[in-house]
Structure 1
Amino acid sequence: MAGEPSFDEIISKIQSCSDPASIAKTLASFLNNLNENVFSARPHGQIDPLDTLSPAIHSFAYLYFLVYRCKASHGFHPALLEKVWAFVTTCDGEQVRLASDKALSFAEALVKMATESFQPIIAIRPLAVFIRRLQASSGQLTMIHPLLAKTCLLAQSFKDIIPIIDNDISDVDPQHTKINYKDFLLYHYYGGMIYAYLKKFDRAVEFFKLAVSAPAEVASAIQIEAYKKYVLTGLLHYGKVPVLPKYTANPVQRCLKAHCVPYAEFASAYEKKTNNVIKTELEKIKPILIRDKNYGLAKQCMEALHRRNIQDLTRTYLTLSIEDITSLIGLGSEPEGASHVEGIIVKMIESGAIFATISHEHAGGMVSFLDDPNQHNSTTTTDMINAQIQKATVITSSLVAMDQTISSMPAYFNKKASSNKPKRQRLTSGSDERNTHQGRGDGGETAGQTNSEEELDVDLKETRQAENEQPEKLDDLSEK
């Protein structure tokens, strides 16, 4: 049995394979057959392989050494961090994509080192840069996206991930990206949490919606958690819960209905815009919201309701006293209600949510509502419209390309051919017909009720099967 190749032989083999074809054909199997100690140990009296190899030219092999070096390290060391940064900023994305499992291991080891140093923020920028290198296009989802999003949430640092999550995902083909279903769900779940923390609720709603409406034969616990936040961010941004897309899987919709009853009841009360009713409902489900780490979002819903009610007043009145506004939006009975309302109005004026002036010439203060001074005829407005048109054009081109690709796939033709075949009708025997009516009383719906109960039991079973998909419970960041 031949022994392990020498250090010089390994380096020579790596340096002879620097193009994707030779890497895939010979180098991958060669490195996979080596003992792990070859990559993690520093050769005595010899140059460090990480100093011999180029992270830009020999990215595939460099990644192998870097993964095991990071795994063996406890906490960050300046010399290793320097190697990490050199790799993520110069590596060849095409080579790294050939070792997608090692790319994920590298990212996980990076987060582990940062966490052990009690500085998770250290891993964020290298991961963000690495994703850019790993992506074949800016719209491609990688296995590292959810890990980066989670790390950003734990570190409460979002500067480096915003440019990444602001790019809409258009490539989720597992053959190209090696991602799985859980990666897709977690990325959009954590991404939605980031947007909610930044109070970009329109984007948060979209991210949670993508998680909830993802194709599924069974419901995932991630989808249930995402839906809870979808309800609350929907109330925050729209004042109601947006209707889920029609393509949302039926098993998922039934599960949501069964597991999110308190959220549905809160949403129903919220849409009535009655302050006392909503406060009562909020107090009733407070323990559930705290358990789910959603109480901060729910409290923001109350503030959003006050702002929305004030905006409604601007459509009816030109001038109102702060005391009258406090009474009209249902805060008249609260201690310090008027000062609270004045604070809300000031923030709304500062943010441009309303146009108004506050005068204290009269006792208690008067608010005069004004028309929007922006006539939307500035160059800023024109630039904004042009940017949106350009974005829509890019999306349209991408959709056309995707449509052409899908239309040329053999699987598409097979599916279309099978859907065009006439469906065989199931013959119903007399005994079947009798069983259909059995148990139904005069005008009763016993059979229908039984079906609903059976569906609910199936949903609960499906959710238990998917419990391993439960996202890690993170702090209620919206309260911070």
Structure 2
Amino acid sequence: MDRLLAESAALVSIPLPQEEDRYDKAAKALVAKLSKLSPLELAPAKDDLDATPPFSHTILYTYILVAGIEASAASGKAPPRQLPSTALPEGALWPYITQLLFEFDPIQTRYCGIQFMRIVDCVALGAEQTANYVPAIQLLHHVILRLDNTSSTLTSTHRAFLRLCLLSQAYAEAVHILDQPIYHIPSRHDTRTNRCLCSDSDQTWIFLSPGTGLSQPITSRTYLEYYLMGGMCYMALRRYKDALFFLEVVLTAPTLQNIASAIMVEAYKKWLFVGLLLTGTTPPIPKSVGSNAIRHIRALAKPYESVAEAFKGSNIGQLRAEIEAGNHIWQDDGNYGLAIEVYQAFRKFAVQKLSRTFAALSIAEVAKRTSPDPSDIAETKAYVETLIVGGDLSAVITDGESGAQTLRFLPTSASTRPEAQVGAALASQTQELQTLLKHVQDTEHRMEVTKEYIDYLKKLKKARDEKKSGGKGSSKAAVDEDIDEDMMEEI
């Protein structure tokens, strides 16, 4: 143990980025020695962790901690497919797990990514096993941002984090990560020209990949689940514009043979209701959604489309009947609360529609046109007042000579903002655009060095050579079609 500790301490003395090659060799040598030791050989070293700071000795600390968890699991005290109690909150190993995940060195984790992610997975699994979600949510949130402070690369930890947030209804914590745009998906292939894992010149997204073990492979299902769960978190906070965007990402994802998946069907159902809540109308189908896919989706979402059709009319009774008829469907799909909100939103949009036709209207007439109980004038007045106070309606209520109250709609005018506020908004948007362009350039570079793109260039060159020589089958359209078919097969 003393020799391993000395080798681990030697890493700290190697300056980065000046001596990347030396650091890389020393770190790999340490990992090679630790990999040869069994959990039973490493587990007793747990007693030394108290005097071992995780930041300076992340590799060694991680291997010893994983060995301790495996040794506890092998003792047979834990039920099958469950974590040992020592790895759960209040367990003997839990203080070491939290200390490592709060203080780890992001550079050293690149060399022990698989082992490190086993600890992260233990935290997520332990949270579900004990239904104690808060500690795990805090730890995973910290891990995501410590590995990448922009959270711009989608990793398997993102999905685990969102799942725990949904299970615990910790939606506010979820949006701290969701508000960070995703620009990169981990690549299965290492595209770095600099082979040192400790390189400071490479982008962070290069290391957050299955190649280093810091993320499990991101499948199409993982990708769709992240955006579906993200949309659900935004919906819970009534941030419907953001929710609509996340759900549209799911709908517009490429599909094999243009056939929709079950996740896309679930996203469409929520997307339809969220669109009604946001704008009061059925949102237009995104143009990039495949025609066959959307046909299959709509066939499986008929009850939702019936509600959307009833929402377009002016009969609140018909809408109520459609929603009540599908109560068991909304409950089975987990959309019952969303359906209730759609019913409640109908009245708000019905009142807003009156402003497009009338300059003023008696409260009694408003009740007759929009209220579930037209005879309850006082309730209608109270409801309209809540819309006015909440900013959903630009109007005032006035008293007439006969005592009748009238709702007078006010002209909507564009709100003016101070010049300083406008300037700050423009500066923020400029910064966001520059960041986006930078990530686009990185993505283009990744595409240029992939095997698929190189094969495409070879086919293109071959087509040009055939065209110059006047050979048959040199039609550019035919070549493009062949290339497209090959790319679809790979997808």
Q: Same fold (TM over 0.5)?
A: yes
Q: In 1, Cα distance between the equivalents of 2:68 and 2:56?
A: 19
AA of the residue aligned to 1:201: Y
Provide the residue aligned with 1:429 in structure 2: none
Give the secondary-structure state (helix, strand or coil) at the position aligned to 1:317.
Answer: coil
Rounded to whole Å, the distance in 1 between the matches of 2:364 and 2:37 is: 77
- Give yes or no for the alignment of 1:32 onto 2:35: yes
Residue 158 (structure 1) aligns with: 171
TM-score by length of 1: 0.75
Structure 1 residues 284, 97: CA separation in 2 closer, same or farther (over 3 Å shift)?
Answer: farther
State the alpha-carbon separation in 1 of the partners of residues 129 and 375 from structure 2.
48
1:301-320 alignment, distance < 5 Å: 301-320=342-361
CA spacing shift, 1:383–1:173, aligned 2, 3 Å: same
Cα pair 1:56 1:90 within 8 Å, conserved? yes
| Aligned counterpart for 1:258 among listed residues 290, 296, 299 | 299
Aligned CA distance change for structure 1 residues 36 and 199 (closer, same or farther; 3 Å): same
The one-letter code sitting in structure 2 at the alignment partner of 1:376 is: T
Mapped contact 1:17–1:23 kept (Cα < 8 A) = yes
Q: CA deviation at 1:210?
A: 1.4
1:413 to partner: Cα distance:
4.3
- Aligned residue pairs: how many? 413
Match of 1:213 in 2: 252
C-alpha distance in 2 between matches for 1:244 and 1:24? 52
* Residues 1:332 and 1:95: Cα distance change in structure 2 (over 3 Å): same
Offset of 1:204 from its aligned partner?
0.7
Higher relative contact order (CA 8 A, sep 6+): 1
Residue 383 of structure 1: how far off its partner (Å): 3.0
Q: Which amino acid aligns with 2:54?
A: P
One-letter code aligned to 1:180: I
Contact 2:4 2:30 in 1 (8 A): no
Secondary structure of the equivalent of 1:297?
A: helix
SS at match of 1:398: helix
1:11 deviation in Å? Answer: 3.6
Alignment check: 8 A CA contact 1:11 1:49 kept: no
> 1:50-103, CA deviations, whole angstroms, 9 ceiling, x for partnerless residues?
224332122233233344556532631287554344323332223324444434
Spell out the pairing of 1:56-455 with structure 2 (5 A cutoff).
Answer: 56-67=55-66, 69=68, 71-72=83-84, 73=86, 75-77=88-90, 80-135=93-148, 137-175=150-188, 176=206, 177-178=209-210, 179-181=217-219, 182-217=221-256, 219-249=260-290, 252-329=293-370, 331=371, 333=373, 336=376, 338-359=377-398, 365-372=405-412, 375-378=415-418, 379-407=420-448, 409=450, 411-415=452-456, 418=459, 422=475
Counterpart Cα distance in 2 of 1:237 and 1:314: 18
Tell me, in whole angstroms, the C-alpha distance in 2 between the residues paired with 1:343 and 1:22. Answer: 73
Q: Which SS does the other structure have where 1:358 is aligned?
A: strand
Whole-angstrom CA distance in 2 between matches of 1:31 and 1:271? 66
Q: Match of 1:124, SS?
A: helix
TM-score w.r.t. length of structure 2:
0.73
One-letter amino acid of the counterpart of residue 65, structure 1: I
Percent of residue pairs bearing the same amino acid type:
24
Aligned partners of 1:380 and 1:15: how far apart in 2? 51
Please state whether the residue corresponding to 1:57 is helix, strand or coil.
coil
User: 1:294: how far off?
Assistant: 0.4
Determine if contact 2:54/2:100 at 8 Å carries over to the other structure: yes
Indicate how the Cα distance of structure 1 residues 281 and 397 shifts in structure 2: closer, same or farther if over 3 A, else same: same
In structure 2, how many angstroms separate the alpha carbons of the residues matched to 1:160 and 1:354?
Answer: 31
Deviations 1:416-475 (A, max 9, x none): 5547663669xxxxxxxxxxxxxxxxxxxxxxxxxxxxxxxxxxxxxxxxxxxxxxxxxx
User: Structure 2 vs 1, CA of residues 267 and 60 (structure 1 numbering), >3 Å: closer, same or farther?
Assistant: farther
Q: Give me the whole-angstrom Cα distance separating, in 1, the residues matched to 2:293 and 2:35.
A: 41
Q: Is the 8 A contact 2:252 2:288 kept in 1?
A: yes
Task: Describe the SS at the equivalent of 2:415.
Answer: coil
* Range 72-81 or range 216-225, more displaced: 72-81
Q: CA deviation at 1:116?
A: 4.5
Per-residue deviation at 1:141? Answer: 1.1
Aligned-residue offset at 1:185: 1.6
SS at match of 2:396: strand
Q: Which amino acid aligns with 2:148?
A: Q
CA contact (8 A) 1:93 1:136 kept: no
Q: Residues 327 and 128 from structure 1, CA distance in 2 versus in 1: closer, same or farther, beyond 3 angstroms?
A: same
Pair 228,99 (structure 1): closer, same or farther in 2 beyond 3 Å: farther
What is the deviation of 1:352? 2.0
- Any conservation in 2 of the 1:213–1:244 contact (CA below 8 Å)? no
Aligned mates of 1:289, 1:233 — CA distance in 2: 14
Aligned-partner Cα distance in 2 for 1:92–1:277 = 60
Q: 1:150 to 1:264 in 2, by over 3 A?
A: same
CA distance in 1, matches of 2:372, 2:403: 16
Deviation at 1:27, TM superposition (A): 3.4
1:213-238 superposed Cα distances (whole Å, 9 cap, x missing partner)? 22231643222222221221122113
Residue 169 of structure 1, CA deviation:
0.4
C-alpha change, 1:119 and 1:204, in structure 2 (3 Å) is: same
Q: Which amino acid aligns with 2:437?
A: T
1:125 Cα offset (Å): 1.3
Unmatched tracts of structure 2, length 5 or more: 13-19, 70-82, 189-205, 211-216, 464-473, 480-491
Cα separation, 2, equivalents of 1:335 and 1:352: 26
Say if 1:75 and 1:113, in contact at 8 Å, map to a contact too. yes
